[in-house]
Amino acid sequence: MTTPQPPPSVRPVRARVNPILCQGYGICAEILPELFHRDEWGYAQAHARNVDPDERQALDRAVAECPVKAIRLIEPSEESPPRPEGAWGPDTER
């Protein structure tokens, strides 16, 4: 017997920006500045937190409008453990 899961639209999600794909257009940060911010080079990063339900519509829009499809939604359980400040690696967000 499996535990019933909430539908995808109400499950907690986080956003992750692929630093290889991101071209720094900044559309995501314009749409949802509470979640996306840009580094000193203009590339986007997503805060490592669950997306508030009232942000979900704007997040879906940011995902759809990113010209290079660099934003991915992940479940919190997929999140890697936090890295030390300044650490680099395959899934390091800029």
Residues at the site binding ligand SF4, with contacts judged by CB under 6 A: 17, 22-28, 44, 66, 68, 70-71
Nearer Cβ to ligand SF4, position 10 or 47?
47
- Entry field: residues in the chain: 94
The helix (H) or strand (E) run that includes residue 15 is strand 14-17
Reading the block at residue 90, the tokens are 């395959």
Instruction: State the nearest-atom distance from the C-beta of 24 to ligand SF4, in Å.
Output: 5
What single-letter amino acid sits at 47? H
φ, ψ dihedrals at 73, nearest 5°: -95, 135
Nearer Cβ to ligand SF4, position 26 or 50?
26
Nearer Cβ to ligand SF4, position 11 or 69?
69
